[in-house]
Structure 1
Amino acid sequence: MTLPDQTLPPNLKAIRILMAEDNDMDVFLVRAAFEQGRLAVHLDVTENGVDALAFLRGEGRYAGAERPDLVMLDINMPRMDGLSTLKAIRADPALRTLPVVMLTTSDAESDVLRSYENFANAYIVKPISMDSFFSVVRTFEQFWFSVVRLPRPERAE
C-alpha cells in the first residue's frame, strides 16, 4: 500500500521528532530524507544530551517547546552522550514513555546491548552511503509513523 504525500496517521496531529546529534551533516541528511518523505515531519535538533533533556523538560531556552512524538539519539555527543541521555529519559516519569531510537555510527555490540538494557525502542546504525542513509530514514518514517501506534502526549505526561 502506498500512502499519499504528507498523510498523517489518525492518532497524530503532527509528527514531531527531537534529534540529539552533534554532526551537522547527519542532521542535514536526516532532514533532507524527511523532506522527501511521505509525511510532514517537524525535526527539532539539539547538539548534546544536556540540551535534549532541557528541551524535553521545557527548561531554559526551550521553555514552551512542544513535546516530540519520538526522540532520536546519537551515542557519541559532547557534554552528555546518548546512553546517559537515554538513562535520564527512562528515569524521568514524565518522559519515560517517549519512544527513543538510537541512531549512531557505532556498530559495537556493547553499545547495542547497553542501549536495549536501558530500554531503547530501536537501534539503527547510520549507513555510510547517502542513498542507504535516505533509505534507512524512509523505512524509519514508514515504520514509526505509519505502522506503530504511539502514545498520545497528553496521556504520557
Structure 2
Amino acid sequence: MTEADVNLPDSADVLLVEDNPGDVRLMKEGFDASPFDLTVHTINNGDDALDFIFQRGDYVAAPQPDLVILDLNLPRTNGDVVLAELKRDPDRCRIPVIVFTSSQAEDDVLTSYDHHANACVTKPDHATEFIETIGRVVELWFALVRLPADEE
C-alpha cells in the first residue's frame, strides 16, 4: 500500500505505554518508517499512563491519544488495569487500544478483550519482524479502520 492509496490523517497522537527500552526503540523505528505524521508519546509505567490519558498531574496539557499501544506487564499499575479504567470512562472509551505484549498466556488475551481492547498482538521475537508488525498495526488503524469522527 502506498501513500496515495490511503486517506492519511493530517496528524495523530500515539500513546506508547512500554517499560522495556529495547521494545520502545523498535516500536519507534516502526512508527518512523510509516507514512503517517505521528507524534509518539512514550510512558513507561501504568500510573503515568493513566495520568496522561486522564490529563492529570504532569500531563494536564497532554493531547487525547488517537491510538494507545499498551504493554500488559508494567511497573506500578498493570496494563490490564490501565485498559479497564480507560474503557470504563465514557469520554475515552472509544480510544483504540492495541495490547502489544510478550505474554503467551491465554488468560492475558481473554482479560484484554474482556476489558475491551481493540486488538491483542504478540510481540515478535526478531527485531525486523517487530518493526514490521508495528508498521502493520499503524497502517491498519490509520489507513484501513474507520474510526468515529472527533466530537468537538
**Same fold by TM (over 0.5)?**
yes
1: distance between equivalents of 2:93 and 2:82? 11
1:38 corresponding residue in structure 2: 35
2:18 corresponding residue in structure 1: 21
1: distance between equivalents of 2:26 and 2:132? 11
2: distance between equivalents of 1:152 and 1:26? 31
2:148 corresponding residue in structure 1: 151
Q: Does 2:49 correspond to 1:52?
A: yes
Contact 2:11 2:36 in 1 (8 A): no
Assess, with a 3 A threshold, how the Cα gap between structure 1 residues 23 and 93 changes in structure 2: closer, same or farther.
same
1:67 corresponding residue in structure 2: 64
Q: Does 2:93 correspond to 1:99?
A: no
How much has 1:41 moved relative to structure 2? 1.3
Task: Please state whether the residue corresponding to 1:55 is helix, strand or coil.
Answer: helix
How much has 1:8 moved relative to structure 2? 5.8
Contact 1:17 1:71 in 2 (8 A): yes
- After TM superposition, the structure 1 = structure 2 runs for residues 78-97 of structure 1, keeping only pairs within 5 Å, are 78-97=75-94
How much has 1:153 moved relative to structure 2? 3.7
Alignment TM-score, normalising by the size of structure 2 = 0.93
In structure 1, runs of 5+ residues without a counterpart are none
The aligned amino acid for 2:108 is D
2: distance between equivalents of 1:77 and 1:124? 16
Q: Does 2:117 correspond to 1:120?
A: yes
The aligned amino acid for 1:59 is R
Aligned residues: 151
Q: Does 2:122 correspond to 1:111?
A: no
RMSD: 1.5
Contact 1:69 1:153 in 2 (8 A): no
2: distance between equivalents of 1:34 and 1:8? 17
Assess, with a 3 A threshold, how the Cα gap between structure 1 residues 47 and 8 changes in structure 2: closer, same or farther.
farther
1:133 corresponding residue in structure 2: 130
Task: Please state whether the residue corresponding to 1:75 is helix, strand or coil.
Answer: coil
Contact 1:8 1:40 in 2 (8 A): no
In structure 2, runs of 5+ residues without a counterpart are none
Task: Please state whether the residue corresponding to 1:154 is helix, strand or coil.
Answer: coil
